């Protein structure tokens, strides 16, 4: 599976949640990864007690066996085990790493590998390793949150009552990016805990809400006067 989308849409948080709840392996790719470095990271996460071999061939076998063991354990618990590689741009741009994952691990173990990154990851995978790209069973693209999503996030995350007009203002100011929505909710919550009653635009007028991701400047709550 390939999961892509702009930064701040909640990809990493969603995948962290899924990995924790399913006992899945989750690692973050590094800019200068090599096949050996990637495999050592996987082995360290799977079983830190195992001393990795130096040879890539033997190291691959160690990872294979550790993945198979974890897969069996999670299957016995009824969990959907898989491997999540977040920030996976360095992986999809390196044919050797992709082919190691595909041929030595994924195809043999029949374990799903989830590659997550920004919106270029899909085209990079197709360009570098079209054969691996053809094996992708599902592409999942994250989009900005809707107003309804922002309402739900406000209800779930904010500990003060927020008026509908401020929720709508937050949605517009955040452009639907979950990271910015959460930043705005923290500002609203701080304000609400120091001021009585529901928090709306009128109450929070001219107060800081969040920072603009493009300019870094403060976005203030502004009432329509």
Residue 33 main-chain phi, psi, to 5 deg: -55, 145
Q: What is the reported pLDDT for 169?
A: 97
Taking alpha carbons only, the member of 51, 20, 42 closest to residue 109 is: 42
Asked if pLDDT for residue 181 goes beyond 60, the answer is yes
**Percent of the chain at pLDDT exceeding 70:** 99
Pair of tokens at residue 88:
């996976």
Dihedral angle, C-alpha 192, 198, 199, 205, nearest 10 °: -110
Q: What is the reported pLDDT for 135?
A: 85
Model pTM score: 0.82
pLDDT tens digits, one per residue of 95-114: 999 999 999 999 999 999 99
Do 91 and 97 touch, CB atoms closer than 8 A? yes
Phi-psi region of 146 (alpha: psi -120 to 50; beta: other; left: phi over 0): beta
pLDDT tens digits, one per residue of 119-158: 789 899 989 988 888 889 899 999 999 999 999 999 999 9
Question: What CA–CA distance (Å, rounded) separates 164 from 200?
Answer: 7
Question: What CA–CA distance (Å, rounded) separates 164 from 162?
Answer: 7
Q: What is the reported pLDDT for 33?
A: 94
In 3-state terms the chain splits into helix, strand, coil percentages (rounded to 5) of 55, 10, 35
Find where tokens 């599976």 sit.
Answer: 1
Q: What angle do CA 28, 4, 140 make, to 5 degrees?
A: 120
């Amino acid at each position: 599976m390939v999961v892509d989308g702009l930064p701040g849409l909640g990809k990493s948080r969603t995948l962290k949640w899924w990995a924790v709840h399913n006992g899945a392996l989750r690692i973050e790719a590094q800019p200068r990864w090599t096949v050996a470095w990637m495999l050592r990271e996987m082995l360290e996460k799977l079983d830190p007690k195992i001393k990795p071999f130096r040879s890539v061939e033997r190291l691959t076998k160690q990872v294979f066996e550790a993945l198979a063991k974890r897969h069996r354990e999670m299957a016995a618990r009824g969990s959907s085990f898989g491997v999540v590689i977040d920030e996976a741009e360095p992986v999809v741009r390196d044919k050797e790493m992709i082919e190691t994952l595909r041929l030595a691990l994924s195809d043999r173990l029949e374990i799903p590998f989830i590659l997550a990154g920004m919106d270029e990851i899909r085209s990079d995978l197709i360009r570098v390793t079209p054969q691996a790209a053809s094996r992708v069973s599902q592409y999942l693209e994250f989009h900005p949150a809707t107003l309804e999503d922002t309402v739900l996030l406000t209800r779930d995350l904010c500990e003060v009552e927020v008026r509908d007009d401020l929720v709508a203002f937050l949605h517009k100011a955040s452009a639907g990016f979950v990271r910015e929505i959460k930043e705005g909710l923290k500002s609203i919550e701080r304000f609400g805990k120091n001021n009585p009653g529901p928090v709306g635009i009128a109450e929070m007028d001219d107060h800081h809400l969040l920072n603009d991701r493009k300019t870094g400047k403060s976005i203030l709550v502004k009432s329509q006067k």
